[in-house]
Amino acid sequence: MKQIAWKTLPARIYRDGDLYDTERRQIFARSWLLVAHASQLQETGEYLAVTAAGYPLIVVRGENHAIRAFHNVCRHRAGPLANDGRGKCEGNFVCMYHGWRYSFDGRLIGARDFGAVAARARIASVGSPVPGR
Ligand code: FES
C-alpha cells in the first residue's frame, strides 16, 4: 500500500486576519451555510440567530411556512434584531436600538419617527427562502 505524506497548513494561516477576511468574502458569503435543520423551526415566528463566519444572521419560519435567512442587522443604524440563540417571535422583529419593525419576510413595516421614506427599506436577505416542509 502506498504511503501518503500528509502535510498540514502552516500555523500562520490559522491566525492570518487578511486570509480570514478573504475566506469570508470569497467562500462563506457566496455559498449556503448550514446553521440549523428545518425541524428546529417548526412554528411561525420560531427563529435562530447565529453568527457564522463573522456574519450575524437570523433564520426564521414565516407565516407561509417558508424559512428565510437575513442579516441580523437593522437598516437604520445596524442594530441587532435578535440576540444569538433560538426563540419564538410573536408578531415582528423589533430592532433593539430604536424600534424599527420587520416582518418575517424581511420587510420593514414600521420605522418609528421616520415616516414613509424608510418604509421602502428591507433588511438584507442572505439567500432565497428555503421551501417549507
Ligand atoms: S438601529 Fe434599528 S431602529 Fe435604529
- At residue 6 the predicted structure's pLDDT band, cuts being 50, 70 and 90, is confident
Q: What is the pTM of this model?
A: 0.77
Decide whether any atom of ligand 1 lies within 6 Å of the 97 Cβ.
yes
Domain 36-120 bears CATH identifier 1.10.10.60: no
pLDDT of 129 > 50? The answer is no
Domain residue limits, the chain: 36-120
- Which atom of ligand 1 is least distant from the CA of 100? 3
Spell out the alpha helix ranges (H) of the chain.
11-15, 17-26
In whole angstroms, give the CA distance from residue 99 to residue 77: 11
Mutate to test the pocket of ligand 1, among 71, 72, 100 (most ligand atoms within 8 A of CB): 100
- At residue 32 the predicted structure's pLDDT band, cuts being 50, 70 and 90, is confident
The answer to whether 45 and 90 are in contact (CB under 8 A) is yes
For the stretch 33-69, pLDDT in tens is 899 999 999 999 999 999 998 899 999 999 999 999 9
Count the alpha carbons within 13 Å of 89 in the hemisphere toward its beta carbon. 26
For the stretch 69-123, pLDDT in tens is 999 999 999 999 999 999 999 999 999 999 999 999 999 998 887 765 555 555 5
What element of type H or E holds 68? Answer: strand 67-71
Maximum alpha-carbon separation in the chain = 72
pLDDT of 125: 54
Decide whether any atom of ligand 1 lies within 6 Å of the 107 Cβ.
no
- What pairs with residue 31 in β-bridges? none
| Interior/surface letters 103-128, b for 16+ CB within 10 angstroms, e for the rest | bbbbebebbeeeeeeeeebebeebee
Q: Which three cell numbers stand for residue 10?
A: 502552516
pLDDT average, residue stretch 6-25: 92
pLDDT of 133 > 80? The answer is no
Q: Which three cell numbers stand for residue 41?
A: 423551526
Mutate to test the pocket of ligand 1, among 77, 109, 114 (most ligand atoms within 8 A of CB): 77
pLDDT of 130: 45
Residue pointed to by grid coordinates 451555510: 33
Percent of the chain with pLDDT over 70: 86
pLDDT of 131: 43
